[in-house]
Amino acid sequence: MNLGLILVMLLGVFPLGVFIYIIYPFLKKGASYEKSSNTSVENMLTLSKVKKGEKVVDLGSGNGKILIKFAENGAIAYGYEINPILVLYSKWKIKRKGLEKRAFVYWRNFWHEDLSKFNIISLFQYKFLMPKLERKLKKELKKGTRIVSNVWTFPNLKLKEKKGNVFLYKI
């Protein structure tokens, strides 16, 4: 059982918690939470070649694992997450690790955010979202922006490199 569900049960509001944790993300046009493996996160870091001070965003940042790892490796890391429980959990982890000046997570739908200020985009989305996301990224990102995708590929972007289940693209 993952931490989000444990938190919901501990709060004693199981029916509301199930709604917030499982149903709410779909109503907001998002995906449910799925944990990234440590290997995938390391592959994302390796492929992205993150440099100190670069701005990274994790689209659907879940439990904050990826954005925290980028922040620990010198990036200024942002996360957009529509699940409020995961946002609170991520904020708690960021504070516990002392990364408040390098890692930020927001309770927002990334579809409504301008991604042009970022050097690196990280994501672990679903296959059915990839064509729409590709259009958004092509429209908003500046030349040279790196995109690391865990598991899912884009239909038309040219793949630059692959490591395990992680794919690197450049705009």
Strands 55-59 and 76-81: parallel
Q: Tell me how far apart the alpha carbons of residues 24 and 31 are, in angstroms, rounded to a whole number.
A: 10
What is the reported pLDDT for 11? 60
pTM for the model: 0.81
Tens-digit pLDDT profile for residues 61-115: 999 999 999 999 999 999 999 999 999 999 999 999 999 999 999 999 999 999 9
What is the reported pLDDT for 35? 74
Give the rounded percent of residues in the chain with a pLDDT score beyond 70.
80
**Please, which pLDDT band fits residue 127 given cuts at 50, 70 and 90?**
confident
CATH architecture of 37-170: 3-Layer(aba) Sandwich (3.40)
Q: Tell me how far apart the alpha carbons of residues 37 and 39 are, in angstroms, rounded to a whole number.
A: 5
Query: Which amino acid is located at 87 in the chain?
Result: V
* Runs of H (alpha helix) within the chain: 3-10, 14-18, 24-27, 38-48, 65-72, 84-96, 130-140
What is the reported pLDDT for 37? 79
**Please, which pLDDT band fits residue 36 given cuts at 50, 70 and 90?**
confident
Tell the residue number behind the tokens 């002392």, with chain if given: 98
Tell me the average pLDDT of the chain.
87
What is the reported pLDDT for 31? 59
What is the reported pLDDT for 121? 98
